[in-house]
Structure 1
Amino acid sequence: MNEHPQAQTLERDIQLYTALLGEVLREHSRKRVLVVVERLRDGFMQLREQEDPELREKLMKRIQSLDPQTLAEVIRAFTLYFGLVNVAEELNAHLARMDVIAAGERLWVGSFDDTVRQFKEDGVSPEHFQSLLEHLIYLPVFTAHPTEARRRTISETFRRIFLAGQDLHRLKLNEEELEDKLQEILTQIQILWKTDEVRVHKPQVTDEIRRGLHFFRESLFEAVPRVYRFLEKAVRRNYGAGCGIRVPSFIRFGSWIGGDRDGNPFVKPETTELAVRMHAELILEAYLERLQDLSRMLSHSSALCQPSPAFLDSLDADEEYWVGVMGQRQRRFLYEPYRRKLTMMGHRLQANLDRIRRRMEGLSDDGLPDGYAGAADFLADLMLIRDSLIHHGDASAADGPLQDLIRLAETFGFHLVHLDIRQESTRHTQAVTELFARQPGAPFYQAFNEEQRLMALAEAIAHPHPFIIDKATLTPETRETLETFEVIARMRAEVGERVFGQYVISMTHAASHVMEVMLLARLAGLVGVDNRGWFCTLQVSPLFETIEDLSHIDRVMSTLFDDPTYLALLRASGNQQEVMLGYSDSCKDGGILASSWKLFEAQKKVIALADDRGVACRLFHGRGGTVGRGGGPTHEAILAQPVDTVHGQIKFTEQGEVLSYRYANPETARYELTMGISGLIKASRCLIEPPEPERNDYLAIMDELARHGEAAYRGLVRDTEGFLDYFYECTPLDGIALLNIGSRPAHRKKADRSLASIRAIPWVFGWGQARVTLPAWFSIGQAIERYRGHDVERLAKLQRMYQEWPYFRALLSNTQMSLFKAEMHIAREYLRLAEDRERAAQILGLIEEEYQRTLVQVLNVAGLLALMDETPELRHSLARRNLYLDPLNHIQVALLERYRSEEDEAKREEWLDPLLRSINALSAGMRNTG
């Protein structure tokens, strides 16, 4: 199975890390821990090969005999194993890619080399390829959705193991050096063993902001410039050095951390203000560090080279600035013009940084020097240095770290990320209703129908003084809503115009929900009319997230586009409308098939509407980490978008555990960014040549499959008596709600056992923990079976769809991964947690039937003998985790029994710690949480 040399190397690394972990456990854990870990692992491995009820019972008794502290250590050992496997896999994948590059072979599908070569071979001219590049915006958005179980400290230690492991492979070490390197890895594993991986306290929003910043500092500042270099090399290699193609800077990053207040009462206006300043602080620190590096490097003497006239003029202007601030001339580097310039630039940046820090501390910044007016001025200075170096024949010096710093400045500005603000529509409606009610003789807004609301809102937005507002008389909720808009206005003025991305309105059911936000923005001076006409500095992104909302998307958006006030504001803000699509809630609401298909149709409707009105439209994909929440490989996901809907721009959420897997190591971040960008380039080909339209017969078949799928899903989830009781009792949902992994609550309403109350993330998280993974596959089997019946031709048609249509292929590929992660024999173990065991067993019986049906139908359509035959590396990766996942699930069942049945509060608390650790461990092992 693993004959490939790279597979052997990976297995050797895993064996090495496991052996070192064993050494640490032998020396530093409770006496029985290593023995228990090995016995459980070997016992459950035997059960995988052959069921033996007697052995299973014996293993469960062993688990039940352990005290909470020993169980906690056993779980920690399993968690550490998963972390080390992840490091080994990530490292070996990186090394394998480097080997392919070194060998000069054609690179993998999704690499820049393969992508650009394909365009060249297809006869795409340099002019057309340049035109496509000019349209690109690649925009991952980091969110703090509570699905990340790993602490930042742990990430940093794993990074050190990654680097030491890389040295073992890459460096020629003598025996002593080899011994030192192995000792280094052993030491880091020992540190991990003595570091608590579970947070003692629930994270504050500021902790989540810092965690988001960690990926920029540790990885992305290095990865982003390298990604551009790889793309430039691929262009030169395939189109020739003199082709004239210039790669613009098109990568941007967004964030919701500190801006997403929907369902998170801890995100206040001051939180958003702090987030913006923390972003600015980090990027200014990064620039200052790099300016110092450049100053050490660019030691050119004015006696030996002649800088450009434009550069010398700027140096004169800097002298005036320096004298004005310091009261004397700059005395250093009189004959080293670039060092002189960089010193002045550093001084300006430091002034910007000091101002930000003073404000973060709540102090006045009076008396501080001005610094740079904005990122554009800083970038202009960097380009002056670059152009001057080229001017006197030092283009190679201009193309190194200086060019990388230019890329960073173009990507991150002074704001680092575009912070999106998100709030639920009802909060805006409440605020607007209250504001209308406080005006003398004002209409009763709540009683209006949609048409009347739109008229009242448009009138108020256009009015020079819409409301008289006494903040002291408003309810705290409305006051906070107004203050959020005021913070947006204030921080735009303080840090820069690009500091905020979109204002996302969740649960958008009507056009008035968007216009209410525009009115609130009007009150903060963000939109309105001045002597030059309409102005608008806030862009709104309505979020459609339920099956019903997705069905009504065209009605809501056409009403908006037909509203003269909204259209005027849209034109004033750049004439681009962003629309956000919610994958999680629509999947929870109607099942994976209906959700996926409604999202597909919604995209086509919105793009067609926008095209018809002459409006540019960007779709924002609210993807989660798991398949049940829109997750899956980014490259394939972008290619699976409807034809002619990706017009050069893609924006999508990256959340929870996905951030660690994709961005914790710069080597992996480069790969992930490359795969996503190459997908965007391919999907945007419609910009330079007419696309091949989707086949109507395929669309009709998907229509039918989605209909059958929704009926099957709702039949189980909504119409099966006791189904939600089964979910609450036979998954560790109560533990998930207590796990300190996010700052937001797990439920919208406490003690409400309804589908509407539970959030999409714990819904998917819970099913994953119990190894059911239901949201990612349930209903696909019934839908395919009902469509094809016993008709061989219909099966052949589905097989063609799988081979030819990227959308359908991605859907079923992701289904295979979710089916592989599901384990019905383990889900059965959780039945002992049910109050009505007979009823729960019947429900699981229905799930098992559908699992088997889906398995058979998906394999038939894909033409495979076993799940994931087309992705053997991923299959091996998931399979090797089962050695430790199986015992963990059985431990979790035992812990849930203990925790729920224990009446003594103090003893109950003792069982909670290992229970939370088991949730953490399983999510690490499955490489998924929510």
Structure 2
Amino acid sequence: MIDQGIERRSAAVTEMPDELRQDVRLLGKLLGQVIAEQGGEDLLADVERLRKAVIAARRGEVTGDEITAMVAEWEIDRAVQIARAFTCYFHLANLAEEHYRIRILRERDAEGRVERESLAQAVQELGDERVTELVKGLELHPVLTAHPTEARRRAVVTAIQRVSGQLTEYNAAGRGASERAESRRRMLEEIDLLWRTAQLRSTKLDPLDEVRTAMAAFDETLFRMVPQVYRSLDAALGEGTGTRPPLARPFIRYGSWIGGDRDGNPNVTAKVTRETVQIQSDHVLTALETACTRIARTLTPAEQFAPPSPELRTALAAAVDAHPEVVSVMATRSPSEPHRQWLLFVAARIAATLRRDLDLAYRAPAELLADLRLVQDSLAEHAARQAYGELQHLIWQVETFGFHLAELEVRQHSEVHAAALAEIRAGGELSERTEEVLATIRVIAWIQERFGVTACSRYVVSFTRSAADIAAVYELAEHALGRRAPVLDVVPLFESGQDLANSPAVLSGMLELPQMRERLAATGRRMEIMLGYSDSAKELGPAAATLRLYEAQEQLTAWAVEHDVKLRMFHGRGGALGRGGGPANRAVLAQAPGSVAGRFKVTEQGEVIFARYGHIAIARRHLEQVTNAVLMASSPSIGSRTAAAADRFRPLAEKVATASEQAYRSLTEDPGFPEWFALVSPLEEIGSLRLGSRPARRGLGAPRSLDDLRAIPWVFAWAQTRVNLPGWYGLGSGLASVASLDELKAAYAEWPLFNALLDNAEMSLAKTDRSIAERYLALGGRDDFARQVLEEYDRTRTLVLQVTGHTRLLENRKVLSRAVQLRDPYVDALSHLQLRALTAMRTGTPSDRERERLSTLLLLSVNGVAAGLQNTG
């Protein structure tokens, strides 16, 4: 069936585990049955023809021209159906791999051993005394963003989740034959529904759609997972977790740009930001009420076995006096269970907070925490397990999420602020855009009044060039509200190479601002700055950007020490390698020594949100790995080793950075390159996928330079061409500039930054297909550009393998190698379908009706390739 050919091919390089093979085979067989039922046996036969052809092509038995001819034979509508088939296959293959990952995590956990890159491993390696000190200041701050890289519709995601649920039931231990048969039938029903669900969005998302989509991750994963991470750390720090006060303090704080990021997105307004916080609050209060009610109903220790403390008795009596109608019902139901009565009363107060019943509602999370600790302290003396078990989880959840769920951050471009101030100073009538800037500040003030300062105080300024860009926000706040201006922590965002180099000087200028001095005094001299990975990589190329960002971190760390500032660096990393992506834990370990210091803040973007937070076991593992890396990177011994390696290999790194940037700029700044890029890729058409609420480019029309193009469609479009240029271009020239291969090998072995740079490039190269890439590059009619790209690819691939010592790409990364091998032929099939549509649209003169059908084929193939490659943007 649809999976058997790939199994045979994969076995030669990386053996697929039996459990994964069985799931892939089952899902592929069920999909084949659905295709035959809905489209006929002839459709399934055509799918099989293409599948076998692309596998044969990878063995050198079929040429690309033969596949092109085959694809050209089909009517466009048939090609669309075939593209749907391969797209659905990718969704199911991804699902099978996710289930395998979860199974492996659980098996390792059942063995009871200390997992690599876990919290227990960090505690074991660093030692109790050092870990205790680090944990006191530990901060992990993931920030969810709406950057549009998730190509799947929410309806498709939920359909996949339903298939996932049935696969879990099917594989559950101890299932009888009839139970498995029923799960198989239900799985077939859900795959049938997945096949019938439209893969493409018919309407453009608005910002509140994006907010509600993110809420699914909170509802299904984050709320339950966060206390599990704290419990893991608490267990690692000392014996007796669940029977004593916790040794682990809550260190995770989620943030969000969804509904707050208005840089280049006119659809995010003050009204949207206000509604976003209300949606977030509704979700977290609902979750807290549900959890509190669940715990209360099970908290049944009788008074004779767990006497309430005098403080709890007094509080219950006061509650009866203040709210007799509420408490009397609980007392009647549980007459001798005071702890249960109190917790049910607390749940009723959370519900009142949700519906805004001011007589009963909590005014702030601190009031709720006080009530929860009252019952915890009462239980601690006679029923410690009840005090520090599930009740402790609820306390951790309140401490982590408050009543606002995630801190909403506002972002706007510095030029918008400058234009608004110019209008205000001129004294004339204000434009709609300037009024919106002032309205945004008023909404921040409203959020702080309603939910507290921690709910929304950070204001990120894109393209910060000087301290004046920061001062502008404070001045606008005074214009908006005068003395009633909200508390603002204005965060500079440094993105270009020049801005990164100038960043310490900008921070010195910020220290002269009275508002900044006031905030430093109020926060214990804490300051936050943001580093932009996407635009720096688009400007400088991946290798030079990585090294320039590292240098900036070194300089900023030294500046912070000199000025006695506790600096937190906010890393604006994307999901794709061309935007700072890659394994998050390795990214942490590759930071400049002293720059982490127990604090790490990073964006979680697009499809990465669902990849990392789609299932509680995977989410927990992800956060444990990142926290492990933060602890390890903050230890003096590791910092010393990293600093020594950086000092030794700095001249080498400078050569690599300079030569790689020159090679990158010689291509991307050549006249005609932006137009050529638009021809060889589906750049223009990606906007029709309606991935998000933000426009894909700055300004209208075809891009005249890379500055006109946002980093996400730049990376996304290159991934579709199978070139993946933003992840590796220029690195080969950079490596070639170093005369000593032995020195490059030593840098790879000893310096985490250089190791991560090459390994990430290797991953991107592995997802590149040279023969298919040639076909895309030929569409632009510029043989010189195509030749330049392919020569740099060959150079980079050769040198990366020489430096790493690998005989093939991803040789030392078994799981990732298997994933790429599993998908490659099927991505090839979609690429050939996409090439048919793109070629006709670029070089032919199709009618309006034919262009519409070709566009459908193109967009379906884009969607499918995104599912196959996964980290596309």
Shorter chain as denominator, the TM-score bin is over 0.9
1:873-892 residue pairs with structure 2 within 5 A? 873-892=815-834
C-alpha distance after superposition, 1:324-371 (max 9, x if no partner)? 99999975534321232123222221221112xxxxxxxxxxx75350
Give a deviation string over 1:534-578, Cα, whole Å, max 9, x none. x97211111011112112112211221244553234323442111
Q: CA deviation at 1:518?
A: 1.4
Q: Which amino acid aligns with 1:314?
A: A
1:206-285 matches, within 5 Å, as 206-236=208-238, 246-285=247-286
Q: Is the 8 A contact 2:445 2:486 kept in 1?
A: no
Instruction: Please identify, of 567-576 and 706-715, the stretch whose mean Cα deviation from structure 2 is larger.
Output: 567-576
Cα-to-partner distance string for 1:626-683 (whole Å, 9 max, x where unaligned): 0000000011000000111101111111111111111111111111111111111111
Pairing of 1:310-349 with structure 2 (within 5 A): 310-323=311-324, 332-349=333-350
- Deviation of 1:526 after TM superposition, in Å, equals 8.3
1:784-810 Cα distance to aligned partner (Å, 9 max, x none):
11122xxxxx21111111111111101
Give the corresponding residue for 2:7.
Answer: none
User: What is residue 381 of structure 1 aligned with on the other side?
Assistant: 371
Query: Contact 1:538–1:573 at 8 Å: present in 2 too?
Result: no
Indicate which of 781, 790, 801 corresponds to 2:747.
Answer: 801
Aligned to 1:421: 410
Any unmatched runs of 5+ in structure 1?
356-366, 440-472, 529-534, 789-793
Q: Which residue number corresponds to residue 572 of structure 1?
A: 522
* Equivalent runs, 1:54-453 vs 2, <5 Å: 56-107=64-115, 109-119=116-126, 124=127, 126-236=128-238, 246-323=247-324, 332-355=333-356, 368-392=358-382, 394-438=383-427
Deviation for aligned residue 1:868: 0.9
RMSD, matched Cα: 2.4
Q: Distance in 1 between matches of 2:27 and 2:531?
A: 42
Per the alignment, residue 757 of structure 1 pairs with 708
Q: Which amino acid aligns with 1:386?
A: Q
Pick from 857, 861, 871 the counterpart of residue 914 of structure 1. 857
2:813 is the alignment partner of 1:871: yes
Query: Matched residues in 2 for 1:688 and 1:375: separation?
Result: 38
The Cα of 1:774 is off from its aligned counterpart by: 0.6
| Equivalent residue number for residue 630 of structure 2 | 680
The structural deviation recorded for 1:515 is 0.6
Q: Is the 8 A contact 1:159 1:665 kept in 2?
A: no
Distance 1:128 1:116, change over 3 A: closer
Q: Does 1:601 align with 2:551?
A: yes
Q: For residue 886 of structure 1, give the secondary structure of its aligned residue in structure 2.
A: helix
Partner amino acid for 2:286? E
Paired AA for residue 807 in structure 1: L
Bigger drift between 480-489 and 541-550 goes to: 541-550
1:79-136 deviations in Å (ceiling 9; x for gaps) = 11111111111111121122222223442x21223222212xxxx3x34321210111
**Where does residue 844 of structure 1 map in the other structure?**
786
Q: Distance in 1 between matches of 2:243 and 2:16?
A: 38
CA distance in 1, matches of 2:294, 2:348: 15
- The secondary structure found in structure 2 opposite 1:694 is helix
Matched, 1:38 2:48: yes
Secondary structure of the structure 1 residue equivalent to 2:698: coil
Partner of 1:824: 770
Aligned equivalent of 1:664, options 608, 614, 633: 614
- Cα offset, 1:159, TM superposition: 2.4
Offset, 1:738:
1.4
Indicate the SS of the match to 1:291: helix
Change in Cα spacing, 1:243 to 1:538, as seen in structure 2 (3 Å) is same
Give the corresponding residue for 2:666: 715
Tell me the CA shift for residue 8 of structure 1.
Answer: 2.3
Query: Is the contact between residue 418 and residue 500 of structure 1 (CA under 8 Å) also seen in structure 2?
Result: yes
User: In structure 2, how many angstroms separate the alpha carbons of the residues matched to 1:404 and 1:15?
Assistant: 40
Distance 1:692 1:783, change over 3 A: closer
Residues in 2 aligned to 1:140 and 1:640: alpha-carbon distance in whole angstroms:
18
Change (3 A) 1:675 1:326: closer
SS of aligned partner of 1:142: strand
The Cα shift of 1:257 comes to: 0.4
Q: Which residue of 2 aligns with 1:447?
A: none
| Cα offset, 1:705, TM superposition | 1.1
Structure-to-structure mapping, 1:338-737, within 5 angstroms: 338-355=339-356, 368-392=358-382, 394-438=383-427, 473-525=429-481, 537-686=487-636, 693-695=643-645, 696-719=647-670, 721-737=671-687
Given the superposition, is the C-alpha separation of residues 557 and 811 from structure 1 closer, same or farther in structure 2, using an over 3 Å criterion?
Answer: same
Deviation string, structure 1 residues 821-855 (Cα, Å, up to 9, x no partner): 11111011124533xx2x2x321111111111111
Equivalent pair of 2:833/2:857 in contact (CA under 8 Å)? no
* 1:543–1:581 contact (8 Å) kept in structure 2: yes
Q: Flag the 1:87–1:527 CA change in 2: closer, same or farther, 3 A.
A: farther
Give the superposition deviation at 1:72.
2.1
Deviation at 1:707, TM superposition (A): 0.9
Distance in 1 between residues matched to 2:286 and 2:712, nearest whole Å: 35
Q: TM-score by structure 2 length?
A: 0.94
Alpha-carbon distance in structure 2 between the residues aligned to 1:417 and 1:32: 51
Distance 1:343 1:105 in 2: 39
Question: Structure 1 vs Structure 2: percent identity of aligned residues?
Answer: 36
Per-residue CA distance 1:6-28 (angstroms, 9 max, x = gap): 72221221111111111111112
C-alpha separation in 2, matches of 1:564 and 1:58 = 70
Count of aligned pairs: 860
Specify whether residues 369 and 2 from structure 1 end up closer, same or farther in structure 2 by C-alpha distance, changes over 3 A only.
Answer: farther
C-alpha distance in 1 between matches for 2:727 and 2:385: 51
Query: In the TM superposition, what whole-angstrom CA distance separates every residue of 1:32-61 from its partner, at most 9, and x where no partner exists?
Result: 3211211101001111111644xx334323
Separation (CA, whole Å) in 1 of partners of 2:242 and 2:499: 50
Residue 610 of structure 1: how far off its partner (Å) = 1.8
- TM-fit CA distance, 1:67: 2.9
SS state at 1:654 partner: strand
- Determine the C-alpha separation between the residues in 1 that align with 2:245 and 2:806: 46
**SS of alignment partner, residue 756 of structure 1:** helix
1:21 aligns with 2:31: yes
Q: Which amino acid aligns with 1:597?
A: L
Give the C-alpha shift of residue 74 in structure 1.
Answer: 1.2
**Change in 2 beyond 3 A, CA 1:273/1:644:** same
SS of the equivalent of 1:542 reads: strand
Measured at CA, do residues 879 and 745 of structure 1 come closer, stay the same or move farther in structure 2, by a change above 3 Å?
same
Deviations, residues 134-156 of structure 1 (Å, cap 9, x unaligned): 11111111101111111223222
- The 8 Å contact of residues 319 and 327 in structure 2, kept in 1 or not, is answered as no
Distance 1:536 1:432, change over 3 A: same
SS of the residue corresponding to residue 253 of structure 2 reads coil
Query: How far apart, CA to CA, are the structure 2 residues paired with 1:691 and 1:539?
Result: 34
Return the alpha-carbon distance in structure 2 between the equivalents of residues 246 and 304 of structure 1.
Answer: 27
Structure 2 CA distance, aligned partners of 1:526 and 1:199? 44
Distance 1:912 1:67 in 2: 14
SS of residue paired to 1:272: helix
Q: 1: CA distance between counterparts of 2:409 and 2:497?
A: 24
Q: 1:339 to 1:890 in 2, by over 3 A?
A: same
- Going from structure 1 to structure 2, the CA distance change for 1:6 and 1:856 (only over 3 Å counts) comes to closer
Q: How far apart, CA to CA, are the structure 1 residues paired with 2:617 and 2:160?
A: 14
| Distance in 1 between residues matched to 2:642 and 2:860, nearest whole Å | 50
